[in-house]
A and B are shown apart, each in its own frame.
Chain A
């Protein structure tokens, strides 16, 4: 039966080729949009790793001189700031950030405050990579003060978050997420492990730069619900450290008591402004940042979905029209088959079968194209599982679509009377 259908399809190869190309293109469009949608849904059900309600973030703009300031000037316009002066200024900025935290902590609504470098849903990203034992690990990173875990509700599963215990440490304490712990230390307890950057040709690592895992958190998907899980590393941010050369954190995170009204923000910002009149503050409730971040994730998908929906409607209409015309052109052939004893069901099956066969060929080619993406790991964040689900959905949709398009013309064809059809022979 299939071989017979194949021959029928082959006999009209030119026009069938065009139809197959159309089905192929629709299949690719459907898979592309479907993969993004499945990717989002798949990510959405994974743990986020932090709390959103009752949290405010405040971004600090310090209006200070950066590292691109010209320090050596021939015209003597400004005295070149010395390295020592720059360090003093950094120190002063760190002290001021600490003072801001204290100012906020005094407010009755505030439960806890902390400093951080990369807050949830912010546009800022900090990614890094490290080579350990011949393997390269990519991770997202952030830094936080000792209170950050409490403020953001980070879930520490092993070890602990940063505390003053780390003050005297001769290494850099870090907290990593489950995913990185599993990848880096399979089967071992990650807490207490050292992480050394080992490059070929490197001498012994600088002890003060060695990282040591003090705790493991479930996750911290900074970009939000639709983002893929990634490896993550938290560094410790210290504000009162005489020796440190580090820049201070540029974000404050505030956890308020449940039921705090929105006007808290105005009072908090007023306090901050009077404590640091030269700085600028951008306060945002985390639920609001979440809403705008998620909208930014969804808007392109929504636009693509609407466009492809219209594309598919167009293809469906076009395809049923073309198939209908084909049926009217094949009246004589169908009449002959009816006269030779084929039943209505037989005819219908043949016509729908031809289209199904065509769809199978087109989607097979489409599959060969689409499968390159997971095989070549073009988008490494998208797992083969996501591709699999989206391909399954696309197959189901495209076969349903073409079957529906073939059904109406096939019904029409099957009611052709042999006598009418063969009248002109």
Chain B
């Protein structure tokens, strides 16, 4: 039965190729926009190398201090992480990294701008970088303030024209580093892992950062398993609530442990007083944006479908007269529309790949390598089905309501 419907759907598609092409254009374009957006979001949030253990990683990305008539919020400071986030129960490893900062190098009259990120040695064990050359710096390097650095491939190209870099020195922000490792480029949208130059925390020009509660650093907590998350969060909250504040004017300090998605949601929707993350609101926002965007294409397709279905009034009349139920007719038309959407979706995938490649090549977002991976493909498939239903249900329902006599006469308003 399904097979014969599918056959019929295919036939109907090519009965009026002009209209099919119009419909396909709309579906394809809509899905391209949605799929590109999905690929970009996937690029920001999904567990992509080197953040492969994201499922058991929590981050400390934001801190907020409030007092009478004032508040300050930013990234946590080194002191906060060092004092309160170490040795939490259930945490296997804990790493501290700084926000990347722009560092300038001048070499033979030309300028190289690099993002420099200061980290501890644990950073390399929490994240899973594959080294192209050499390896990471060690705990001894960090303790002793050794002037060594790990650079990414683009930085290697800029300084050494792509030649092997390990053992050679680079100058950045007036400091000289010996290169000990080279890692692949990490997209700039990955807050945790991106950087051009990675160097030990202790190579900072002054040690003032060690006494700051707020500003410039992030923490990573690698838990033994996801089941430990609630306990870790609770323990960190307890410790920070009892923290010493920089002066009497300050009353409260908060710095939650959360996933990166929760962090973004929390920064967008976080209330003034409560640090709670609102991941469900971010999901709702994304869904609403997608729905609003698909609204116009959907109405367009509904219009086309309505007209085409009314054109088939006599066919429907005959089927009804011979006893076809409304349900089976609705099913048939929704199926036809789904087939159309999936054909459009296939074209959409092909076109999205082209658009994403163009985006990667444009250099608009440094080190972006947007791709359609398995996750994005599944989301795209879901979007195609959703769009097919959105634009197919109303015409199908309208059609099933046709009175056979009227339908056979062909006079439909």
Contacts and interface: CB of A to CB of B under 8 A. Distances in A.
A63 to B, nearest CB: 4
B86 to A, nearest CB: 14
B244 A68 contact: no
Contacts of A64: 206, 208
Given A14-B413, A277-B174, A318-B26, A22 B104 contact: no
Interface stretch (A200-208, A235-243, A306-314): A306-314
Contact of A281 (B104, B109, B209, B303): B104
A124 interface: no
A78 interface: yes
B296 A317 contact: no
B102 A277 contact: no
Given A64-B206, A317-B26, A22 B296 contact: yes
A239 to B, nearest CB: 21
B174 A314 contact: no
A235 B308 CA distance: 68
Contact of A22 (B29, B244, B299, B310): B299
Nearest to A21: B299
B38 to A, nearest CB: 15
A68 B77 contact: yes
Interface bracket on A? 35 or more
Interface residues of B, number: 54
Most A C-beta atoms less than 10 A away, residue of B19, B79, B299, B300: B300
A311 B296 contact: yes
Q: Is the interface of A mostly helix, strand, loop or mixed?
A: helix
B106 interface: yes
Contacts of A270: 106
B44 interface: no
Interface stretch (A142-150, A319-327, A353-361): A319-327
A269 B25 CA distance: 55
A14 B397 CA distance: 14
A22 B72 CA distance: 47
B109 A263 contact: yes
A164 interface: no
A279 interface: yes
Interface string B283-326: 00000000000011101111110111011000000000000000
A68 B206 contact: no
Interface in B225-284: 244-247
A280 B103 contact: yes
A67 B299 CA distance: 55
Contacts of B49: none
B106 A266 contact: yes
B295 A19 contact: no
Most buried by B among A14, A22, A61, A328: A22
Contacts of A65: 208, 211-212
A278 B206 CA distance: 7
A314 B29 contact: yes
Interface string B39-71: 000000000000000000000000001000000
Given A318-B300, A325-B311, A70 B211 contact: yes
A317 B22 CA distance: 6
Contact of A278 (B205, B295, B297, B364): B205
Contact of A11 (B26, B77, B106, B413): B413
Contact of B303 (A19, A63, A282, A283): A19
B246 A69 contact: yes
A128 interface: no
A315 interface: yes
Given A15-B307, A70-B246, A325-B311, A22 B206 contact: no
7 contacts: A63-B206, A64-B206, A68-B214, A266-B109, A266-B111, A278-B205, A321-B307
Given A70-B79, A280-B103, A318-B26, 7 more contacts: A14-B413, A22-B299, A68-B212, A72-B244, A73-B244, A266-B111, A325-B307
Interface of A: 11-12, 14-15, 18-19, 21-22, 25-26, 29, 61, 63-74, 78, 262-263, 265-266, 269-270, 273, 277-283, 299, 307, 310-311, 313-315, 317-319, 321-322, 325-326, 328-329
Interface of B: 18-19, 22-23, 25-26, 29-30, 33, 65, 72, 77, 79, 101-104, 106, 109, 111, 173-174, 204-206, 208-209, 211-215, 244-247, 295-297, 299-304, 306-308, 310-311, 364, 398, 412-413
